[in-house]
Structure 1
């Protein structure tokens, strides 16, 4: 049977991968071709457990999308910026301070980075259901691609996040559906796709921000899936306290633990600090296009440790707040999103900046 004809759109051609000799983070690579059987899932759970305990980040290969499907998603992502008129983008800008959700467009120069310099990042967040007008109005230019975008969010949720959640549960000696039950696709949550376009900055802005494009932070949901792309910029704080770059691997995913999973796991899994900085010299002036799936637990899930875990009973719980004061997933993410990049932060002696969201101390690392 011939393949269906897809709607046409301009091809996106990214910059070549850097040839600079950078200090790369030694992140584990997980082969998801083995995830389809109970035996394979159990074997991978050991690798995933150790990776998320040590680095909070890992790569996934053989995740079910071909290179052609990968490239097509980046074509659609680029179209969200290049094929949508500016006046329509302005009409669809999300009021994240009011709603606590990033759905819609975020224009450049919304967030304060440092020393009065504001960001140069365009962003578009889309609800995972994509086609339901109850959740979100989309640009007209995206309508032909709704089926592909819905297939993309479902693939991330069911074929990547759910297997990972099972492995994370097994790593804590919990029933494998423990975390999956908290992450339905159709239930109330703000799990969503995102595209981000990082535009180059002036030399003066780079000097004033020490080349940092997004300050060091941890993510707010449970699992973040980044589709690897060749323009370097992402760095993670490694266990020895040093920033190291995340290398591009063709058609791989870069996955990290977020705050919500750290809380649910009682600190067993690590929400790792990461940042985005100016690309290396041979990619200077290049635009950086990112494609993500941000997964969150359902809105009413209280972010308390799974104390029935035999592992937690052995190693102990690391809490950032008392269980009785634990926020729900919705309370936490709406609080952080409403404040991010616009609230006044308290500077500490160690150079970090802090704010308190529903009793949780949230740090930013510059």
Structure 2
């Protein structure tokens, strides 16, 4: 690559960065179809400021991650304007010519390297019809000095704003969620934040994700083409976008239900690392992206996500210190019951990526 290699050593500061003009971002209308929507609880972080509010939210959160695994978060102190600007950046990136985007595809993509541009078409989603996926990703790692990374100009010139946004997701969303989960598990409030520190090396990343539309004929062949998956980390944050395509599989009935976009919220799901750390007390829910309803199949779907993961060197053993897990009998996870060594987060991640 001829673009300049940049190692991020920016010092994060509370002062807001200067914001260049990005243009507007227009969301498509929501579907009018009557879908089988999931009934998810909402964690209102506006209640987080008081001890009583924390206790109430901790019970709301533990119910969500024990039952559906997905929930909404609102009042997380990040303005819609800042979110819209991130969608605008994602839109501008995907408007680049394919050849320009491919300059930022990481070497070793098939060996688990995923920071940078991941092109569409890497796998068949319907072998008989010869239809490949149309999902593109651009992953931006932590801004903590651990990752050598270069970017196209539209990303590079906006890196200070992107860094501020990513760090805000830690302070305003993830840290409170980890505190609430610790309270629910009767642990010290900092037990989980200590293994999710921003300065420490982990595979957290911000993602701009694009699902390009299929033709009506292709959509007929792709209904429910995905069997679903779980996420590798701790929490995944999904910002609201109105194209209905996300479905979750209920733990109790195995029924697939749609996740409804809610105004001014994040959709959040618990992931594999939390399931391992709690020996299955917290559920990592199977979910999938499927064909949108008919009135939204004519548009592309742009996603903005953040993936949180424990430190790379964190061993995925059950948290023995939790009185709740001890009382409820959640004392061994799948690794501990096997004859194999319990992996670190990095070891589990690398193995999973290589299998894929």
TM-score of the superposition, structure 2-length normalised?
0.89
Show the 5 A alignment for 1:143-292. Answer: 143-212=156-225, 214-238=226-250, 239-292=252-305
Q: Deviations over 1:48-85 (max 9, x none)?
A: 01111011110001111222222122111211211x34
CA apart distance, 1:136: 1.1
Q: Deviations over 1:256-292 (max 9, x none)?
A: 0000110011111000000000110111111111000
Distance 2:289 2:147 in 1: 33
> 2:137 aligns to what?
123
Is 1:110 the equivalent of 2:122? Answer: yes
CA apart distance, 1:195: 1.0
Which region of structure 1 is more displaced relative to structure 2, 97-106 or 221-230? Answer: 97-106
Which region of structure 1 is more displaced relative to structure 2, 67-76 or 107-116? Answer: 107-116
Q: Deviations over 1:195-251 (max 9, x none)?
A: 111011134433443343x54000011110001110000000113211000001122
- Note the aligned Cα RMSD (angstroms): 2.0
Is 1:335 the equivalent of 2:347? Answer: no
Q: Which residue of the other structure, out of 316, 319, 325, is the alignment partner of 2:341?
A: 325
SS at match of 1:226: strand
SS at match of 1:216: coil
- Structure 1: segments with no counterpart, 5+ residues: 341-366
SS at match of 1:164: helix
Paired residues of 1:70 and 1:251 also in contact (CA < 8 A): no
Task: Say how many residue pairs are matched.
Answer: 335
SS at match of 2:161: helix
> 1:35 aligns to what?
48
Show the 5 A alignment for 1:6-17. Answer: 6-17=19-30
Is 1:18 the equivalent of 2:34? Answer: no
Q: Deviations over 1:85-125 (max 9, x none)?
A: 43221111124545523211111101333425321011100
Paired residues of 2:17 and 2:161 also in contact (CA < 8 A): no
- Structure 2: segments with no counterpart, 5+ residues: 1-15
CA apart distance, 1:4: 7.3
Paired residues of 2:61 and 2:181 also in contact (CA < 8 A): yes
Is 1:301 the equivalent of 2:314? Answer: yes
SS at match of 1:254: strand
TM-score of the superposition, structure 1-length normalised?
0.86
> 1:343 aligns to what?
none
Distance 1:128 1:251 in 2: 25
Distance 2:154 2:108 in 1: 23
C-alpha distance 219-66 of structure 1, shift in aligned 2 (>3 A): same
Distance 1:295 1:86 in 2: 28
Distance 1:133 1:91 in 2: 21
